[in-house]
Amino acid sequence: LGEDGLGWSVRLLLTHPSLTPDGQRGWPKPVADYLAPRYGYSAERVGHARARCMRVLALLERTLAESRARGHEYLLGPRPTAADLHCAVTLAPILPMPEAECPMPPPVRHAFETVDEDVRAAVTPALLEHRALMYARHLVLPVRF
């Protein structure tokens, strides 16, 4: 979740389209203007952020598959760890949960639903199942935004 992590990189991807001429995706422009300096945004960092998201999502997918092959439900074995919690909550800005499970203000939902399409496509059904498991067993629904 720290700098150059999945969450950080997604924040850059949410901010970037807001600052492009059409501004139809991502945050409303005033929100992007406020967040951009806090996230260290620059257009030059977007390509790296996208690639980083793809690598981390692939790593999470492989780790989960390997753990499941050993008969476990969690990323690193038979019990949940911080990695499982961070994975579950960090998927929200990439593929938001339904409104009933995670109500959020419309501008936030719009930003989350318009994040980079390649990154959204990299979230596999197995990762979504893992998120559902974490919320069913270890996190509270509905999420209070």
Express each pLDDT in 80-128 by its tens digit. 999 999 999 999 999 999 999 999 999 999 999 999 999 999 999 999 9
Q: What is the pTM (predicted TM-score) of this model? A: 0.92
Note the pLDDT tens digit of each residue in 19-60. 987 778 899 999 999 999 998 999 999 999 999 999 999 999
DSSP letter string, the chain: --TTSHHHHHHHHHHGGGGSSS--SSS-HHHHHHHHHHTT--GGGHHHHHHHHHHHHHHHHHHHHHHHHTT-SBTTBSS--HHHHHHHHHTTTTSPPPTTTS---HHHHHHHHTS-HHHHHTS-HHHHHHHHHHHHHTS-SS---
Across the chain, mean pLDDT equals: 94
pLDDT band at residue 7 under the 50/70/90 scheme: very high
pLDDT at 145 over 70: no
